[in-house]
Each structure stands twice: as structure tokens, then as C-alpha cells.
A and B are shown apart, each in its own frame.
Chain A
């Protein structure tokens, strides 16, 4: 039911602060670093100086979160899925001292999913997320148009709406409310984000770390009307989007026909955790004889082949865990709506198994388990 879909994620406790959201988050992180409560903060920040770009960084110097520091914790931009980065950070074991990470809901889900796959470790990671209004596509981060967009973005956020220019994937995202975050910054549909802000301290850890922020603790039922509305809008958009990509073999080939085989979608996909992808491995390095065989059979074939094989195969490998973060579409040099395809397939598959990736770290990944009595219709 929609109600639950958005509010179940919140603890009843929340902290209301008379300071803009941006300032609050910067303030919080700076104090955490200064006090040494956290050893480092993973957040977005400026790179390469003024004319430069935006990337995630592990910040140690509190000044980064000062008024004109490099950090940009709430920037609606996603140069990488932080879930993958957190996995990289904790792959060889938990961090010794707390590290805070400011992530978007889909990044958080990706990390949870990776932890399930033993590709990361939650210990000592303080997860800070927010109700998400989506992010802008990568190319807007290059030409500077992102900067210009920000005022509109926040304006519409306050109204609980999404800017039309955020990535379609985001506009079609149903899981924009973080689950399992220690601290959730309420953004979507919150009034006066530049002067006030609400922090939901969902866990004891959250409370412990954000405890000494100045603000008033409020409890009890909160109004999630804006969220519900956004959910409905996004659902609608999602159906549109999915309907947009045709079905059937021909359409599939049309969609992926211009794939240049860079496998960038795989590389940036947080769920694709393999060190060496099956489709880059020896298994797909074929002797000339193979191609000659195919040639004899069909009179012609694409080289390098395996375009469709790669896409379908990758779906079979990760769609069940796809968190719909949209990185794959963003990165595709051939402008293929990869994410739309994968979310569509993923959503359907996840529905079949009644599974929501990244919702709960204790939730088993469907293919790692089974029921004695299920899907009896499939096998006959």
C-alpha cells in the first residue's frame, strides 16, 4: 500500500533544525570530522578546481564542509553510484573507525545489495540519505547547465515536484525514500529548505551521531502527503517510460543495435561486482572457427558479436538486484536507454519473487534460496 511505501522508512523521532538543509548537512559533517566522531566522509565534491567537475571523495579535512569548501553533499548529481564506492572501501574488511557517507536512496540500496553479496561491510558506516528528487544526467554536469538548474531544482523540490530535466530514470523511480539510512534528510516536499530542515534519526547510531545538532526533537505521525503524490506521479511516468521501449526481438535488436560494446554499463553498474565479467572472460573469446561456423549458418554475423547475448546475459545475472540507479543509461556513449530496459526487466522479475533489492540486508537474494512449493506452473 502506498502509505507504507513511503513512511515505513521513517522512525517516529525526528529533529527539526532552523537552518537550511544544505547548511545543516555541511554543519553536521564538519562537526563529525572535527570532533573525530567520524574518520572520513564520503560525499560529492568539486574536483579539478573551479573549472573542474564533480566526483565523490573521501573527505578528511573538515574545511571541505565549510561555507566555501569543496564538498557538495546534496548536489543532485551522480557521477558514480556511491554504493559501489562503499563496497570498494570496505571490500577487504570493515573500516576501523566510523566513516560517514552521504548517499542517495538508490546508492544506499546498491550498497545493501552488495553487502548481501559479501562485497562490502556495513560496520562503522554511518549512512546519511535523503528523500530524493532525482539527479541530473551526467552531460549536464559537463557544460555547466547543472549549476544554472539548481535554483529551479530546489524550488520544485519544496513543492514536492521533480524538475523535468532530471534523468527519466529518476522521474520513474518509486524508491526515492531511503530505507535503512541512519539519518534521513527530509527534502522532497519540505518547505523553506533554505532556512529550515528536518533530520530523521532512524537508528540509534543516527541519533548518537546527530544528537548534538541544535534543534527540536519532534515525534509522532508526520505528513507524507507530498511523498505520496510524488510516488503517484513517478509511477505514472514509469509506466509511460516502460511502455516507450518496444517489445519483441526486432525491437530488442533495434534498441541495442547501436551498442558499441564498451560494457560501460557493466563497469558503472554497482550490482555488477565481478572482478572479471563473464562476457569479458575467455568464455567469450572465440576461435576464428566459431565465427566461420556461424557465417556458414547465417551467411553473415556481427563482429564483435554477443551484443544481445551480453545484454540478456547481464540481465539474467543482475536484474534481480537492479536498484534502478540509472548509471548505465548515463554512461552509455550510444544513448541506449539501458536503465529503462533493465529496470523494466528487473521490476518484473523482482515482482515475481516479491523481492525489493536493497530494502533490508537480512532479505535473501532470490536466487540464493527457494521454497519447496512455488512456481509449480513453471515446471511440469
Chain B
């Protein structure tokens, strides 16, 4: 329990360079706050995020991975986010099958103007992961 409180998760937040990023910037312009331990990583499009890039952080030190891109129909590249959705489904299925806590991966649309939605996602996911506790893989030396 006391550990629970001390545990600060490492979280990678993949965001597309258009909406996801835009949401983060709107949040900043509004001086909305979110936890420091949520580390953003930009990709041009969620559709450009290889499955391996979601899996690797979960093995190499992240407690959770959250992915944000444009809303359906809003993708700067038309359908990248639809493809991303399938890829996330695949990764979640694999993790689930292997009992590796698919709930450590989140996929939520955030549009450019949606600063609040962005920080909420960061904060909500952070709390969610904090409740889940540390990712057992990240400290395993035999991965």
C-alpha cells in the first residue's frame, strides 16, 4: 500500500503530429497540468506507429503506453487512425493472450483543440497505471 503511493509509473504517450500534438499544445496554452512522468513521443500519424514500438517500451521500462491521434474522419492522412485502431487491437490481443496486461495500452482520440481531453487522458491513464502497479516486465533482466 505504502509502496503503491510511492510508485511513480513511467508512461510513454504516443501522439500524432497533428491532433495529438495539437491537443498537447492547446493544453499548454491553457496552462493545464498533467503528471511529469508522462513522456510524449511524436509520430507523424498513429497509423505510422509500428506494433513493435508499442511492445518495446512495455519490455524496456514503461509501465504503460497511451496513443492519441485524430478523431475518425479527422486523420490528416485520411485513414491512418483507422489502421492504427486495428494495429492496437492486434497488440492488445497478443498481450492479452500472453497475460501481459493489455490494459497497459490505451488508445484514445484527441483533436487539436482538445487540450482538456489531452490532460485528462494523461492524468486518467496515470492514475489507472498507478493503480495497476509496476509493469513486471520492466525490471526483469531476462527479457
Please give, as numbers and ranges, the residues of chain B lying within 8 Å of A252 by CB-CB distance. Answer: none
Q: In the complex, A57 Cα to B142 Cα: how many Å?
A: 8
Judge whether B141 is part of the interface by a CB distance below 8 angstroms: yes
Q: In the complex, A171 Cα to B141 Cα: how many Å?
A: 33
Q: In the complex, A47 Cα to B143 Cα: how many Å?
A: 9
Contacting residues of chain A (54-74) with chain B, CB-CB under 8 angstroms? 55, 57, 70
Q: In the complex, A70 Cα to B141 Cα: how many Å?
A: 10
Please give, as numbers and ranges, the residues of chain A lying within 8 Å of B142 by CB-CB distance. Answer: 47-48, 52, 55, 57
Please give, as numbers and ranges, the residues of chain B lying within 8 Å of A55 by CB-CB distance. Answer: 142
Please give, as numbers and ranges, the residues of chain A lying within 8 Å of B141 by CB-CB distance. Answer: 57, 70
Q: In the complex, A102 Cα to B70 Cα: how many Å?
A: 52
**Whole-angstrom distance between the Cβ of A52 and the nearest chain B Cβ:** 7
Please give, as numbers and ranges, the residues of chain B lying within 8 Å of A70 by CB-CB distance. Answer: 141
Binary per-residue interface labels of chain B (15-39) against chain A in the complex, 1 for a CB within 8 Å, 0 otherwise: 0000000000000000000000000
Q: In the complex, A347 Cα to B142 Cα: how many Å?
A: 37
Of all chain B residues, which has the CB nearest A70? Answer: B141
Contacting residues of chain B (95-143) with chain A, CB-CB under 8 angstroms? 141-142
**Whole-angstrom distance between the Cβ of A131 and the nearest chain B Cβ:** 29
Of all chain A residues, which has the CB nearest B141? Answer: A57
**Whole-angstrom distance between the Cβ of A58 and the nearest chain B Cβ:** 9
Q: In the complex, A380 Cα to B142 Cα: how many Å?
A: 58
Q: In the complex, A309 Cα to B142 Cα: how many Å?
A: 37
Please give, as numbers and ranges, the residues of chain B lying within 8 Å of A48 by CB-CB distance. Answer: 142
Please give, as numbers and ranges, the residues of chain B lying within 8 Å of A57 by CB-CB distance. Answer: 141-142
Q: In the complex, A70 Cα to B142 Cα: how many Å?
A: 11
Of all chain B residues, which has the CB nearest A49? Answer: B142
**Whole-angstrom distance between the Cβ of A45 and the nearest chain B Cβ:** 8
Q: In the complex, A57 Cα to B143 Cα: how many Å?
A: 10
Q: In the complex, A52 Cα to B141 Cα: how many Å?
A: 13
Q: In the complex, A57 Cα to B141 Cα: how many Å?
A: 8
Q: In the complex, A47 Cα to B141 Cα: how many Å?
A: 8
**Whole-angstrom distance between the Cβ of A53 and the nearest chain B Cβ:** 9
Please give, as numbers and ranges, the residues of chain B lying within 8 Å of A47 by CB-CB distance. Answer: 142
Q: In the complex, A351 Cα to B69 Cα: how many Å?
A: 64
**Whole-angstrom distance between the Cβ of B60 and the nearest chain A Cβ:** 14
Of all chain B residues, which has the CB nearest A59? Answer: B141
Q: In the complex, A55 Cα to B141 Cα: how many Å?
A: 11
Q: In the complex, A52 Cα to B140 Cα: how many Å?
A: 13
Q: In the complex, A48 Cα to B142 Cα: how many Å?
A: 6
Contacting residues of chain B (73-106) with chain A, CB-CB under 8 angstroms? none
Of all chain B residues, which has the CB nearest A52? Answer: B142
Q: In the complex, A47 Cα to B140 Cα: how many Å?
A: 10
Of all chain B residues, which has the CB nearest A57? Answer: B141
Of all chain B residues, which has the CB nearest A58? Answer: B141
**Whole-angstrom distance between the Cβ of A38 and the nearest chain B Cβ:** 17
Please give, as numbers and ranges, the residues of chain B lying within 8 Å of A52 by CB-CB distance. Answer: 142
**Whole-angstrom distance between the Cβ of B120 and the nearest chain A Cβ:** 38
**Whole-angstrom distance between the Cβ of A43 and the nearest chain B Cβ:** 13
Q: In the complex, A55 Cα to B142 Cα: how many Å?
A: 8
Binary per-residue interface labels of chain A (314-346) against chain B in the complex, 1 for a CB within 8 Å, 0 otherwise: 000000000000000000000000000000000
**Whole-angstrom distance between the Cβ of A63 and the nearest chain B Cβ:** 11
**Whole-angstrom distance between the Cβ of A20 and the nearest chain B Cβ:** 26
**Whole-angstrom distance between the Cβ of A142 and the nearest chain B Cβ:** 16
Q: In the complex, A52 Cα to B142 Cα: how many Å?
A: 10
Q: In the complex, A55 Cα to B143 Cα: how many Å?
A: 11
Binary per-residue interface labels of chain A (120-161) against chain B in the complex, 1 for a CB within 8 Å, 0 otherwise: 000000000000000000000000000000000000000000
Q: In the complex, A177 Cα to B109 Cα: how many Å?
A: 63
Of all chain A residues, which has the CB nearest B143? Answer: A47
**Whole-angstrom distance between the Cβ of B56 and the nearest chain A Cβ:** 18
Q: In the complex, A97 Cα to B117 Cα: how many Å?
A: 46
Q: In the complex, A30 Cα to B127 Cα: how many Å?
A: 39
Q: In the complex, A48 Cα to B140 Cα: how many Å?
A: 9
Of all chain A residues, which has the CB nearest B142? Answer: A47
**Whole-angstrom distance between the Cβ of A69 and the nearest chain B Cβ:** 11
Of all chain B residues, which has the CB nearest A48? Answer: B142
Binary per-residue interface labels of chain A (35-55) against chain B in the complex, 1 for a CB within 8 Å, 0 otherwise: 000000000000110001001
**Whole-angstrom distance between the Cβ of B83 and the nearest chain A Cβ:** 29
Q: In the complex, A151 Cα to B80 Cα: how many Å?
A: 61
Binary per-residue interface labels of chain A (69-109) against chain B in the complex, 1 for a CB within 8 Å, 0 otherwise: 01000000000000000000000000000000000000000
Of all chain B residues, which has the CB nearest A60? Answer: B141
**Whole-angstrom distance between the Cβ of B134 and the nearest chain A Cβ:** 18
**Whole-angstrom distance between the Cβ of B76 and the nearest chain A Cβ:** 35
Of all chain B residues, which has the CB nearest A55? Answer: B142
**Whole-angstrom distance between the Cβ of A340 and the nearest chain B Cβ:** 32
Q: What 7 pairs across the A-B complex have the smallest Cβ distances?
A: A47-B142, A48-B142, A57-B141, A55-B142, A52-B142, A57-B142, A70-B141
7 contacts between A and B (CB under 8 A): A47-B142, A48-B142, A52-B142, A55-B142, A57-B141, A57-B142, A70-B141
